[in-house]
């Protein structure tokens, strides 16, 4: 008996098992979750023609960019904003707490106007450089405005000509406030008062910072995935994962015995590496992504089955255990490579052509293919050769032959 080989096997097996059970839960929980797992809001907006702003391809592209800026200002993780066809924009907001407020903000055209007492527009949102929400002692909250250099000059002229009169500030045609000008205002700065809360002021500031939508958008679909439904999906996915893994382990141990144990340990490493790769790539876990992980586990096991069957054939042909395991891996490699390359090609097409959850599925599938080849061809081979090299097992029956 060669103790060095046996120790290599035991240390490798114990290290993989220990690291898996210690890190698997915090690692799984640290991966970002998609709309279908943590809940959120799915909104479809459609552009509408108006006499002043007809819908065009360029206008819709600008709508997507402006909505992206508005959503990013909300600080959401992994929102999805994508164009659909010539008039629609799909927005998915994972984990959002107030879907009505978010939807109202997404669809606002956010046209800011400063009108003189005669009703003539003197300044618009394009003259703004920045806008910020801030607390106003005794008055709730307010939005501070900073104009561009040119806008600041216009604002100074506007206030100079209208001392003692009111200047109306309108958003999307509705008067926000109409303060009386006490004196000419230099420096290109102003405030909009009247916000009841700092959150309301922040929403307005975001709208003004991100700019106005070039065309009118209306909500044609609003679907909310509640946290409870998302949790239910997670629970069922975890249940399916555990049942699937348990079935695979039982089959591998019953049919391939010690080889099945080695494959199971390699499978633990595969799952751990897959989750680690998703975390490092900042991938988002969705229900299709979980399906991709489970499919990848099946492919990892499939590679081991191919290797073990080749190993048995070589053993039945009269080879020794050591030469049979080398020949088994060598002969199975070409088949595993061909199978995985074709699936990898499909994953590439799905990633290139797909969007959102389909891309998530493609990413987990592609990662699973690469990692399953690594664990099946290197880790399983190393552990089996260490086990056979120890000289403890003389018969192929204990290895499933």
Q: Tell me the pLDDT tens digit for each residue of 237-276.
A: 778 778 888 888 888 888 888 888 888 898 889 989 988 9
Q: What pLDDT is attached to residue 211?
A: 67
pLDDT at 17: 92
Using alpha carbons, list the distances in angstroms from residue 304 to 125, 138, 162, 258, 387: 63, 71, 83, 13, 16
- Answer yes or no: pTM beyond 0.75: no
Radius of gyration of the chain (CA): 31
| Total residues belonging to the chain | 401
Q: At what angle do helices 57-73 and 198-210 cross, to 10 degrees?
A: 150
CA neighbor of 91 nearest in space, from 54, 99, 215: 99
pLDDT per residue over 321-362, tens digit each?
788 888 888 888 888 888 888 888 988 888 887 766 677 788
Element at 168 (helix H, strand E)? strand 168-171
DSSP character at residue 220: E
Please give the Cα distance from 381 to 333 (Å, whole number).
Answer: 11
pLDDT given for residue 16 in this prediction:
92
The pLDDT value recorded for residue 19 is 93
Sheet of strand 128-135, all strands in order from the earlier edge strand to the far edge: 128-135, 141-147, 189-195
Residue 254 is predicted with a pLDDT of 87
What is the pLDDT at residue 76? Answer: 60
Residues of the chain where predicted confidence (pLDDT) is lower than 50? none
């Amino acid at each position: 008996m060669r103790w060095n080989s046996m120790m290599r096997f035991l240390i490798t097996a114990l290290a993989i098992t220990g690291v898996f059970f210690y890190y698997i839960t915090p690692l799984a929980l640290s991966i970002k979750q998609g709309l279908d797992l943590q809940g959120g809001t799915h909104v479809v907006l459609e552009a509408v023609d108006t006499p002043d702003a007809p819908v065009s391809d360029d206008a819709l592209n600008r709508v997507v960019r402006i909505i992206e800026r508005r959503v990013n200002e909300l600080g959401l993780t992994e929102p999805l904003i994508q164009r659909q066809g010539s008039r629609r924009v799909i927005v998915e907001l994972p984990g959002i707490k107030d879907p009505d407020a978010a939807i109202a903000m997404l669809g606002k055209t956010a046209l800011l106007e400063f009108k003189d007492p005669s009703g003539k527009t003197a300044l618009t949102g394009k003259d703004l450089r920045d806008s910020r929400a801030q607390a106003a002692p005794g008055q709730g909250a307010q939005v501070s405005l900073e104009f561009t250099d040119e806008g600041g000059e216009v604002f100074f002229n506007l206030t100079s000509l209208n001392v003692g009169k009111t200047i109306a500030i309108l958003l999307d045609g509705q008067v926000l406030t109409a303060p009386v000008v006490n004196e000419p205002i230099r420096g290109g700065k102003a405030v909009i008062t009247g916000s009841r809360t700092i959150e309301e002021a922040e929403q307005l500031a975001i709208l003004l910072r991100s700019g106005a939508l070039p065309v009118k958008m209306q909500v044609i679909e609003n679907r909310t995935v509640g946290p409870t439904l998302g949790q239910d999906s997670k629970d069922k996915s975890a249940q399916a994962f555990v049942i699937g893994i348990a079935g695979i382990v039982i089959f591998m141990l019953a049919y391939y015995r010690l080889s099945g144990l080695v494959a199971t340990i390699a499978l633990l490493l595969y799952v751990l590496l897959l989750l680690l790769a998703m975390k490092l790539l900042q991938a988002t876990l969705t229900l299709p992504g979980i399906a991709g992980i489970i499919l990848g586990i099946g492919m990892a096991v499939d590679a081991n089955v191919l290797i073990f069957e080749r190993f048995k054939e070589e053993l039945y042909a009269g080879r020794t255990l050591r030469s049979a395991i080398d020949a088994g891996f060598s002969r199975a490699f070409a088949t595993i490579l061909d199978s995985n390359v074709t699936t990898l090609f499909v994953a590439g097409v799905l990633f290139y052509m797909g969007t959102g959850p389909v891309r998530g599925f493609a990413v987990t599938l592609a990662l699973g293919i690469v990692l399953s080849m690594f664990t099946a061809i290197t880790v399983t081979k190393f552990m089996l050769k260490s086990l056979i090299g120890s000289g403890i097992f003389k018969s192929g029956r204990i290895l499933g032959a």
